[in-house]
Amino acid sequence: MPDTSLCAKPSQLIWARRAAARCQPEQVIVVSGIQQAADLTARILLDVGDVVWTEDPGYQGTRAAFIAAGAKVAAIPVDAEGISVEVGTKKAPQAKLISVTPSHEYPLGVTMTLKRRFELLEWASKSRAWILEDDYDSEFRYESRPLAALQGLDNNNRVIYAASFSKVLSPALRIGYLVVPGDLIESFTAAKALLDRHSPVFEQTVLADFFTENHFSRHLRRMRNVYAERRQALIAAINSEMSDLVETAPSSAGLHLTVWLDERENDAEICRLARAKGVSCEPLSALSIKRKMRPALILGFAPFSEKEIASAVHEIAKILRNR
């Protein structure tokens, strides 16, 4: 069977180093983004009827992969410290897999505390459950250093770490990777080969050169500054245009902000009206599974200029004031 985990050993070292996780190069499995990472994890670790904890509210893509595998999704609420292990334990103590975004929970923006990370790891170890750690944009922190990855804190080999280059480089570059425990290497490698043989080798080779020639670190520093400025422009526009109408959720990382609306508002309707004005946003209600939450808008800022950001916020403010 061909080596489908990566195009070359030097590339494996690069990805292993970037993961900020404890691993050997052979533990790194290149995939075509986070969605394939979730799909592979579900295919290998879950049987039909197995229960998966997912964050509520949370990313729909990974949830869809678990449902497609025949798993039962248990929606576990996220509080100020991250996914609630206490609620999960009571609601679905038989869970086989836990899917989390601890560095920057999507969409609420919460960073899982160190205390909650250890609590989750302890429960997973005792219950023999797996954890899928989706680290989709941890490179972009603006006010503090990131906490250690769950995978790096895991002493019992229960964490599968997933990341991609979609946020940090481009969504068009369909390359991501998994860091899997040693006893799962063969299973993930075989499943990846069966699924699509391997991720594009040419793109992997170019990306490996991008790392070895130190372009990536320079790119990351530059883009972190750019996004910090755009994030601040969004905050400033919100404060200027509609601070009396909304409340911005605290977040020191990522490429979006969550903006809370008045309890009486309909966030889906606000987004529909905004799209009619050429403004893209996502309603929090679309990302909630069973949890009834205060309406909110998810506002991304990464691809937009400061002028575009100001204009978009102005349009949203007009919609809110005219209702």
pLDDT at residue 238 in the model: 98
Find out whether 19 and 154 touch, Cβ atoms under 8 Å.
no
| pLDDT tens digits, one per residue of 46-70 | 999 999 999 999 999 999 999 999 9
Residue 30 three-state SS: strand
Q: Is the dihedral of CA 111, 248, 169, 199 positive or negative?
A: positive
Residues 167 and 244 in one domain: no
pLDDT at residue 7 in the model: 46
For residue 150, being part of any structural domain is answered with: yes
**How many distinct structural domains can be found in the chain?**
2
Residues 52 and 139 in one domain: yes
Q: Which domain holds residue 93?
A: 9-213
| pLDDT tens digits, one per residue of 162-209 | 988 888 888 888 888 899 999 999 999 999 988 887 777 888 888 888
Find out whether 13 and 28 touch, Cβ atoms under 8 Å.
no
Q: What is the CATH number of the domain that holds 202?
A: 3.40.640.10
Residues 262 and 306 in one domain: yes
pLDDT at residue 270 in the model: 97
> At 102, which helix (H) or strand (E)?
none
Beta bridge partners of 162: 134, 178
Can you list the residues of the chain whose pLDDT is less than 50? 1-10
Q: Please give the Cα distance from 118 to 10 (Å, whole number).
A: 33
Residues 163 and 227 in one domain: no
For residue 3, being part of any structural domain is answered with: no
For residue 1, being part of any structural domain is answered with: no
For residue 4, being part of any structural domain is answered with: no
Q: Is the dihedral of CA 43, 44, 46, 48 positive or negative?
A: positive
| CB-neighbour burial class of residue 210 (10 A; exposed 0-12, middle 13-18, buried 19+) | middle
